[in-house]
Amino acid sequence: MFGHSYWFMQNKKITSYKDLDVFQRSYKAAVTMLTKIVTKLPESEKYDLKNQLSRSSKAVPRLIAEGFAKKHQKAGFQKYLDDALAESNETQVGLCQCKDIYPRHTDLILCEELIAEYDIISKQLYRLREAWNKFSKNPKDQNQ
C-alpha cells in the first residue's frame, strides 16, 4: 500500500518540507488513519484512543513541516524531528491497541499496514535527524 523509499526524494533538490518523502508518507498515513481507523473506533474511546490517535498521527507531518522552517539551525530542526519520531512511535502503539482491544472495529489488515508504515516513518525520521549535518549550509551549525 505505502511502498518503500528513502526519507528524501532521490535526485531532487530539497527546497520544501513537501520534498521530503517522510513528510509525504506521514501525511498520507495520517489521512488514512483519520478516515479509516479512528472513525471506526467505538464512541466510548472518543476522549482517549480516538483523540490520542488523531492528535499523534496529525502531529507527525506538522512537526516535520514546522521544523523544516528551522532547517538552517541544526539543533532546531533536529528537535522537531525528535518530536515527530516520538509522535510516530506513539501512533504505532495506538494502532497496536486498536488491533488488540477492538479487533471487531478495526480493519486488521489496514492496521498492520499502518503499523509497518509508521515503523518506516520512524526509521526515516531517525536517519534524517542523524544525516542533517550533511545538509547544513552554515558551517557554524556543524559545531552545535
Q: Is the pLDDT of residue 124 over 90?
A: yes
Give, in order, the Cα–Cα distances in Å from 10 to each of 17, 19, 21, 67, 120: 14, 10, 9, 21, 17
Please write the tens of the pLDDT for every residue from 98-123: 999 999 999 999 999 999 999 999 99
Q: What percent of the chain has pLDDT over 70?
A: 83
Contact 121/60 with Cβ under 8 angstroms? yes
Query: Residue 12: its pLDDT value, please?
Result: 67
Nearest partner of 87 among 118, 45, 124, 116, judged by Cα: 118
Structural domains present in the chain: 39-133 (1.20.1440)
d(CA 30, CA 16): 19
d(CA 133, CA 75): 10
Which range has highest mean pLDDT (3-7, 55-59, 69-73)? 55-59
Q: Is the pLDDT of residue 135 over 90?
A: no
